[in-house]
Every structure is written in C-alpha cells, then in structure tokens.
Amino acid sequence: MRVRRWIVLSLVLAAAPGWGAANVHDYRVTVAPDLSHLTVRAQLASPVSRLRSRDREAQRHTRNVIDCGEGTQRLAVSGRTLRSRDATCIEYEYDLTAERPRSRRRSYLLQFPDNRLVSPASWLWLPRLDADTEIRVRFDLPDGVNVSVPWLPIDDEGENAYRFGASPASSEAIAVFGDFSYREIAVPGATLRVTLLGADDASHSGDLISWLRAAAGNVTQVYGRFPNPSPQVIVVPISSWGNSAVPFGRVIRDGGEAVQFFVDPSRSLADYLGDWTATHEFSHLLLPYVEGRQKWISEGFASYYQNVLMARSGAYRETKAWQKLHEGFERARTEPLSAPNDARSRMMVYWSGAAIALLADVALRLEAPAQSLDGLLDRLQACCLPSERAWGGEELFTKLDQLGKTEVMSGLYGRYANRAGLPDLTALYDQLGIDVRGGRVVLNDAAEHAALRRAIMAPKYSPTASRAR
Ligand SMILES: [Zn+2]
C-alpha cells in the first residue's frame, strides 16, 4: 500500500473571476536571467487600495514595491497586505534566492539548482477578485528559461500568456522557472503540459512520456476524452521514497488543475506502465473538488476507476482488476466501524467510496442498457468541468442523478454515506459472478449478470495498449 499522506487537502475558497470579464488586470512577470528574482508589474483595470498574498512569508521576499503609475512612489507591505493607495500600476520584485520550503515535506523543492519552484500563492500579490474581474499573466523569459504554471494558456495572446482561473485552492500550486524539460502530450480532448524535473537522460524522459501518455489514455477510456483540456503535470524524481515506480502523486486545484508525480528514476518503462498511481491521480479529474469531509467520494471513485481503467487498457486482466478491488474492500472491512462521511481510516475513505462507485455503476447499468457511471461522468464533464469551486458530496450525487435522469446516486448516498461500515457486496458479487475462494477471486461466467461484469472492464475505445500480465 502506498502512502499518499499529501492528499489530505485543506480548503480555501477563492472568489470567482468570470470568463469574458469586464475588468482585466494585466500582470507582466519578468524572470531574471540568473533566476534570482521576479519583477512583477501589475496594470490594474481600476484603482485598488490593497493587494493580498496567501502566504504569510511573502512580505519577507517582496521588495522595491512602487506605484509605477505615479513615478516611483514606494508602497508598504505588511503581513499579507500590500497597501497600494488606489494605484493602477504596481511593480515589485520577488526574491527567489531566499525561497525556502516551509515544511520538511517540501524539501524536494531544493534539489533542482537550475530551477526555481515557488508557489504563485507566495509571489502573486492580487486584488480582490469578483465575477467581473479576471487576471491575465504574461511572462517575459530570458533565453534558456521555461515557465510552468497550472493556469490555462491564452492562445490568442502569444506564448507564455495565461488566465489565472478561479479554483477551490485545494492546496498551493507550484510554478517552475528554469531549464527544465517541457513536453506536450496530446490525448483525446486534451494537451497535457508536462514538466520533467531532473530528467537529463533522453531515454528516461522518453519512458516518462510514454507512461504519462498511457495513463492519460487510460482515463479517456471513461468517455472518450480526457476531463481537463490542459492540465499542468509535474514529474519529480525521488529515489528514497517507497518501493514502487511511482511512490506517490497528488492533484492540486489552485488557479487551474495540476497533477504532480514523484517517480523512482531507476525503474523501467514496464514498471511505470504497471503502476496504477498515474491512472488514479488522473481519475481524480473526472470529478470536481469535493469538500474535505467527503474525501471518500473523490478517493473512492479514483480507486474504483484506477482498477477499471487498468483493465480496460489491458494493463490488468479482468480477474486481476476484480482481485484488487476485492482486496481493497477487505482491507476496509477490517477497520473500526465508521460511516463514509465520518471515516478516519485511510482504508475506509478509499474503499467504502470505491464500493459505492461499484454499486452505482452496476445499478445504473441494470437500470438502462445505455446507462453507466461512465455516462453520468461524461455529462458531468460536459456541463461542469473543470470546476472553479468546491462541491458538496450530496450536491454532486444529486447533480449526477439530474444529468442521468435517474435516482440511483442519491439513493446510494442516502443509504450509505452516514451508515457505519462497508456496504454489503455479497448479493452484488453473486449477481456478477465474483466468487472468492481462499481470498482469491474466481470469475463465474454463468452468473446472472456476468456480461455486465465483463462490460465494466472491457475496452470502450480503440485500446492504446495490450499489456495483459
Ligand atoms: Zn487519490
């Protein structure tokens, strides 16, 4: 079992600038050639009395703050507030050399001397945002320096221009400046913007790209396209953690959606392709950010889909996918009794949610031949993703029901979300033909709904690989 302790994310709601907003604040960020600092010039749509940073430490690294509309009048920074005295042009420098990770778990940020990794939550001083306001950020980069941010690129404004989107700010995004390897991976519905840190070896970089392409391709097996059109993906080599090719990953929703992976660079391509972590993390993008107390929904759906999609792609045989789901359910069953909405144990959070996803998928498929969990998520993406806000669990299930003209999801939420213990799957196993002998799953194709069971795990779109093992 892999440790994913970073996934517990706190929630800070950001206000929402709208698309086609009336007020556009233009930020121009010039990166020093030696990566020592950023010079940020904010041209504001209207006079602003103060800017704010989300980082309490930001003032220590912010210097030479001036009102650039009125010559060079100095402005004061105190705590997380920059008093801008109704200025419409504000310029400041942000020192990148003094940046230090605020906790030990960020110490990996220090290991790339040719790069600076620093959260926009620290260096981006922002005015209050409302529905009529948006922020555009353009980077001026010296030769040999790239930038990676999770924000959506603005295609019609040339290179390195982005729209800073509203988001749940589930954690702090990372911006990378420096001499890193940048690649774009096209999959149906999306172009992944991939930053490979410390990947100097071309063949290793090629392996990482092949692995990410396959994992993103797995997620397109849900409804034929990737759920986010342009996510930021950051791959960080790390050798001293875990015992697998991808010891952990996480999704960050802060100004845009980002997925970070920590990989063991000594592993082979086969090891990466057999690892479920990337399929799990990308599967999180099938749902919006769900409020912290109901992590069982996001973790449960991702845990269900990681196995379903590894089977659909051919990385797992059908039996292996059911075996792994079964083992997850058994691990949760031995935990102290708690309801999904109150679950404290990791096993309960992940696998009670996966059990409810499985129950939902089967109930939907039995309700109508064209219905499935895939189908509901397809409609959810079309209407609502990527989402700029956090959702409640009950709200999400109700929305899925509306989209599918069904009551299956709310029914399951009402029955299980606040009931202690893992849902009983005995009848479902019988119907699907999932027999368990001595802890091993044996599939019974004579069962009443064996065809439905096979359909869940079968490829839907021309498979990108056939790597059964
Ligand atoms: Zn997860």
Q: If you measure from the C-alpha of residue 3 to the centroid of ligand 1, how many angstroms do you get, rounded to a whole number?
A: 10
Position 394 in a domain = yes
Residue 176, in any domain of the structure: no
- Ligand 1 mean position to 288 CA, how many Å? 13
The answer to whether 80 and 125 are in contact (CB under 8 A) is no
Mean pLDDT score across all residues of the chain: 89
Query: What pLDDT score does 15 carry?
Result: 32
Give the whole-angstrom CA distance, residue 251 versus residue 257: 7
User: What is the predicted pLDDT for the residue at 81?
Assistant: 95
Domain count, the chain: 1
**Cβ distance 371 to 455 under 8 Å?**
no
In-domain check, residue 384: yes
CA of 437 to the centre of ligand 1 (A): 29
pLDDT > 90: percent of the chain: 72
Is residue 428 one of the residues assigned to a domain? Answer: yes
Q: Are 283 and 357 in contact (CB under 8 A)?
A: no
pLDDT score, position 347: 86
User: Which is nearest to 284 in space by CA: 309, 260, 301?
Assistant: 301
Q: What is the pLDDT of residue 360?
A: 98
Alpha carbon of 370 to ligand 1 centroid (Å): 28
Considering only CA atoms, which of 303, 338, 358 is closest in space to residue 417? 338
pLDDT band at 10 (very low <50, low <70, confident <90, very high): very low
Average pLDDT over residues 215-224: 97
> pLDDT tens-digit profile of 393-443?
999 999 999 999 999 999 999 999 999 989 999 999 999 999 999 999 999
- CATH code where residue 359 lies: 1.10.390.10
Ion ligand 1 residue ranges (Cβ < 5 Å): 299, 302
pLDDT tens digit sequence for 50-81:
999 998 889 999 999 999 987 778 999 999 99
CA 456 – ligand 1 centroid, Å: 21
Cα(284) to centroid(ligand 1), Å = 7
For residue 169, the model assigns a pLDDT of 83
Could you tell me if residue 414 is inside a domain? yes
Please give the Cα distance from 279 to 257 (Å, whole number): 16
Is residue 8 a contact partner of residue 23, using CB atoms and an 8 Å limit? no
Query: What share of the chain has pLDDT > 70, as a percent?
Result: 90
Q: What is the DSSP letter of 453?
A: H
Q: Which of 333-337, 350-354, 358-362 has the lowest mean pLDDT?
A: 333-337
Residues 129-141 pLDDT 10s: 887 888 999 999 9
- In this structure, what token pair is assigned to residue 347? 């096993």
* Structure confidence at residue 188 (pLDDT): 97
Residue 463 lies in a domain: no
Which tens digit of pLDDT belongs to each residue from 285-324? 999 999 878 999 999 999 999 999 999 999 999 999 999 9
Task: Answer whether residue 415 is part of any domain.
Answer: yes
CB 140 within 8 A of CB 31: yes
Q: Does residue 451 belong to any structural domain of this protein?
A: yes
Distance 157 CA to ligand 1 centre (A): 35
Q: Strand 146-148 vs strand 73-74: parallel, antiparallel, or unpaired?
A: unpaired
